[in-house]
Amino acid sequence: MKIVFTTDQVYLHGGIEKVMATKANYFADVLGYEVYVITTEQKGNKPCYSFSEKVKFIDLEINYIRTKSYFSRFNLKKIPQHFLKWSKAIKKINPDFIIVCNLAFDYYWTPFFYRNINKIKEFHASRFYSSIERKKKKGMRKLPFIINDFIESKYDVLVLLNKDEEQFYNSNNLIVIPNPINTTNQKTADLVNLKAIAAGRIAPVKGFEKAIAVWKIVVSECPEWKLDIFGQGETDYIEGLQMLIRKNNLQHNVFIHDAVSDLHERMLDYSFYLMTSKTECFPMILLEAMSLGLPVLSFDCPYGPRNIITNKKDGFLVEDQNVTRLAESCINIISDLDLRCKMGHQAKENVVVFGVANVMQRWIDLFHFMSK
């Protein structure tokens, strides 16, 4: 069986890239499939995450200008080249399945070509806020949403990461398959260090300003505790966070670090994971933390965390954007080592359901169903 993943790049740190590596490696090494990753702008960089040597990479070298809109004239003029190179690669490989991982231009044309090939579109982000925008639009302003509905209906399958997202789609070709996490041979954090961790793309949607607000309350009760935030992202937003840290006199308690390649190993030094996002579809970072025995604390934002965290069992899931409640939960778990250890143990047990073998079996079942 031949599988093609299409995306923009695999050299930056990110959940999509990490999950793709996990799935591609399983398909290639465990199942013996031929696996290809077609990118548009790898720019000669090595993949950020470890891919099997059996996985083949094809970079189309389109190199869209990411500082501009995809629909700017600078990028629009690259579409013919993109289509021709994409078409040539697909024709040469002749895969059984194409899995579209992002929302580049090939998302729009993939379902309309090579009818003998099964096409799958994965969605890694929540549509909660875009659904609100859609309701505000009237008349022709709804056209972009209607076009997306039409395109998505032409895919053989749309793969969503949690069941709550189904309400935001108008297709009958939906299936839910969560992201997989390696749960075997994992170390376990001892949860005794006086610090918590948060990580991800440093962007407003991740709500790190709320993490700083939470930690201001935490420090008033537990002044020796630290919060480390890891990630890369928008310079202006990062500078704003640094100003907020200084304004609240948290320079000795909250620290922002660049993204690191060994984050998984570093998480072992922390006592719990803190998430303050405005929306999350299915945050891999929560699964990683739980696999190491860290309790996880999060807002009940739309809609990923509630599909992972079991409230008061393996962490705390509090009212969305309620800073005071989340800070109280942090103080609660900080003040009780036995509770931390109990929740951490439960987290490690509960995350097994998202283990690689369990999740990849659902992909195997999907392929078999689509091949009938």
Tens of pLDDT, residue by residue over 159-193, are 999 999 999 999 999 999 999 999 887 899 999 99
262/271 Cα distance (integer angstroms):
17
Tens of pLDDT, residue by residue over 275-289, are 999 999 999 999 999
Cβ–Cβ < 8 Å for 258, 309: no
Same structural domain, 347 and 363: no
Write out the residue range of the structural domain in which residue 168 sits: 2-180+356-371
Same structural domain, 266 and 327: yes
Same structural domain, 152 and 211: no
Instruction: Determine what percent of the chain is predicted with pLDDT higher than 70.
Output: 100
Same structural domain, 200 and 162: no
Q: The domain that contains 199 carries what CATH number? A: 3.40.50.2000
DSSP, residue by residue, 131-145: HHHHHH--GGGGHHH
Domain count, the chain: 2
Same structural domain, 164 and 214: no
Tens of pLDDT, residue by residue over 250-274, are 999 999 999 998 999 999 999 999 9
166/158 Cα distance (integer angstroms):
10
Mean pLDDT confidence for 47-65? 96
- Flag whether 187 is in a domain: no
Same structural domain, 158 and 289: no
Q: Global pTM?
A: 0.92
- Flag whether 189 is in a domain: no
Asked whether the predicted pLDDT for residue 244 surpasses 90, the reply is yes
Asked whether the predicted pLDDT for residue 70 surpasses 90, the reply is no
- Flag whether 30 is in a domain: yes
Q: What is the Cα gyration radius of the chain?
A: 21
283/161 Cα distance (integer angstroms):
10
**pLDDT number for residue 13:** 81
Q: Give me the count of residues in the chain.
A: 372
Tens of pLDDT, residue by residue over 90-128, are 999 999 999 999 999 999 999 999 999 999 999 999 999
Same structural domain, 366 and 348: no
